[in-house]
Amino acid sequence: MIGVVYLGNNPKTQERLKYIPGQLVRVTNAYKDAAQICTPHVSNEHFLVFFERSVRSEDITAITYLRKKCRNVYIVLITETMTPEERNIYIKYGINDTIQQAASVTELNKKIQFISDRENILFDDEAPKYGILKFKIPVWKRLFDIVFSCLAIIVLSPIFILTAIAIRLESKGPILFKSKRVGTNYTIFDFLKFRSMYVDAEQRLKELSQDHNQYAEARDDKEEQKTTITAPLGDQAEMDMLNMGMESEMMISDEEIMLVGDDFVVAESDFNKKKEEEINNAFVKIENDPRVTKVGKFIRKFSIDELPQFFNILKGDMSIVGNRPLPLYEAEKLTADASIDRFMAPAGLTGLWQVEERGKGGNMSAEERKQLDITYGQTYNFLLDMKIIFRTLTAFVQKENV
């Protein structure tokens, strides 16, 4: 079993860690003591360190020391919401994962179990080439991907040729469409598809109404009007409001916290609501998309446009079964702690959410998709992959134009 260490001095976190079932968590508030604890006494001994976030400069010193002294640790940062810039800094110095500061005993235990179940993947007992441990695809899964993709390319080669001819005859432009996608460990790669849109499709996306987005949540007009107050304020006006205790019409309640920026004032609750809405609506899906060509509609209906991804699989960018690689503009909105686990799993051609939700017409919330992706990342195995492949082959014809 993996050893668990808590490095910090938050009494609430310490109390919750005491109730992890079947797990003794060693506690210290000194990083040198934590490094000593994480020194292996037997071969292949690994440790999970829950690191309580504090002052950044002090945190970096502690993380750097742990990484230097202990190459067999997986560090999970306990933190409140972080900006992408903050997250990148902590990752640069050796943080592997994050978890919310208010995480429950169940959530903490699930994190421990998730890492323990993948101990042979996440830890490299040989001398590490990099300072940060990352998810590694299992050997059985990689071998299956190579064999399956090679057979698929050979068997489906007539369809590849006919599709390429049809695309070229209907419209000008390249036969294949390449887009940057984010897969496992937030790795960016060129994602291949048969072109199903007109060559200026990316420009047309901005012109489409947000009402066409299946994943955009309905908003109440009145709530939208009061979400953000953008009236410019001068320095004196800000001081007057603060001195008056914020006793103006902008005050929503006596206990409401107002965030004052360079050129706006907004209630903290409204700001958080807007931020959550942006994350929930990260996925963009357009119904009856007018950018799609006639050939494109046909190859999309029968999922033929996805076939070039077998070359991505053969190359190692993705797997047969996994979580769908996301466009950059979607992935950048899924860096919150609640979503990061979907990237600690294989990226795939088909996956759990496709077979679970396609029978419902493809209509689902962004949260449902994220949760199914996270579920797959925590539970995937050979039998589950075979089940997903079988269900994909029997349901590849989409009944709706989604």
Read off the pLDDT of residues 149-198 as tens digits, 9 standing for 90 and up: 999 999 999 999 999 999 999 888 899 988 889 888 888 889 999 998 88
Is residue 135 scored above 80 in pLDDT?
A: no
Q: Model-level pTM?
A: 0.51
Residue predicted with more confidence, 120 or 17: 17
Token output for 129: 């080439």
Dihedral angle sign, alpha carbons of residues 165, 169, 174, 176: negative
Q: What is the pLDDT of residue 122?
A: 77
Residue from 82, 79, 84 nearest 100 by CA? 79
Q: What is the pLDDT of residue 260?
A: 46
Q: What is the pLDDT of residue 244?
A: 44
* Residue 69 near residue 34, CB atoms below 8 Å: no
**What is the C-alpha end-to-end distance of the chain, expressed in Å?**
45
The beta strands (E) that lie in 123-269 are given as 176-182, 188-194, 258-260, 265-267
Token output for 26: 């060693």
Q: Lowest-pLDDT range, 96-105, 113-122, 189-198, 275-284?
A: 275-284
Sequence-separated (6 or more) residues with CB below 8 Å from residue 366: 215, 280, 281, 282, 283
Alpha-carbon gap, residue 393 to 380, rounded angstroms: 19
Q: Is 245 left (phi over 0), alpha (psi -120 to 50) or beta?
A: left
* Residue 299 near residue 196, CB atoms below 8 Å: yes
* Residue 318 near residue 346, CB atoms below 8 Å: yes
Residue from 378, 134, 396, 173 nearest 293 by CA? 173
**Angstrom distances, CA of residue 135 to CA of 112, 115, 185, 310, 342:** 15, 10, 7, 21, 11
| 199-208 tens-digit pLDDT | 766 566 656 5
Sequence-separated (6 or more) residues with CB below 8 Å from residue 349: 306, 309, 310, 313, 318, 319, 320, 321, 322
Sequence-separated (6 or more) residues with CB below 8 Å from residue 5: 25, 26, 27, 28, 34, 37, 38, 47, 48, 49, 50
Q: What is the pLDDT of residue 34?
A: 92
C-alpha 9 chain-centroid distance: 29
Count of residues in the chain: 402
Residue from 212, 227, 320, 238 nearest 271 by CA? 227
* Residue 350 near residue 392, CB atoms below 8 Å: yes
| 244-288 tens-digit pLDDT | 444 433 344 445 555 544 444 556 566 566 656 655 555 555 656
Q: What are phi and psi of 8, to 5 degrees?
A: 165, 180
Residue predicted with more confidence, 244 or 305: 305
pLDDT band at 25 (very low <50, low <70, confident <90, very high): very high
Q: What is the pLDDT of residue 368?
A: 79
Q: What is the pLDDT of residue 319?
A: 94
Q: What is the pLDDT of residue 222?
A: 44
**Angstrom distances, CA of residue 373 to CA of 249, 309, 343:** 44, 19, 9
Residue predicted with more confidence, 115 or 248: 115
Q: What is the pLDDT of residue 198?
A: 80
Residue from 26, 68, 30, 29 nearest 48 by CA? 26
Token output for 321: 């079964």
Instruction: Quickly list DSSP for 72-83.
Output: SEEEEEEES---
Percent of the chain surpassing pLDDT 90: 30
Instruction: Quickly list DSSP for 168-181.
Output: HHHSSS-SEEEEEE
pLDDT band at 128 (very low <50, low <70, confident <90, very high): very low
Sequence-separated (6 or more) residues with CB below 8 Å from residue 175: 164, 167, 168, 194, 195
- Mean pLDDT of the chain, nearest integer: 77
